[in-house]
Structure 1
Amino acid sequence: MPTIKLYVGNLVENLAKPDLEALFSEYGQVTECAIIGNYGFVHYDNEDSGKAAVSALNGSQFMGRSLKVEISRSKSTKIFVGDLPEGTTKEQLETLFNSYGIIVECDVIRNYGFVHFATEEQASLACKLNGENYKGNILRVEISSSKMRQKPGMGGRDGCFKCGRYGHW
Structure 2
Amino acid sequence: MVKIFVGNLPREADKDEIQALFAKFGEVTECAIIKNFAFVHMDDRKSATKAIRSLHLHKLHGTAINVEASRGKNQGAVKLHVANVEKGYDNALRELFEEYGTVSECAIVKNFAFVHMDNSDEAMDAIKGLDNSEFLGKIFRENIEFRKLI
Q: TM-score, structure 2 length as denominator? A: 0.47
Which structure's residues are more often strand, by fraction? 2
Structure whose alpha-carbon radius of gyration is higher: 1
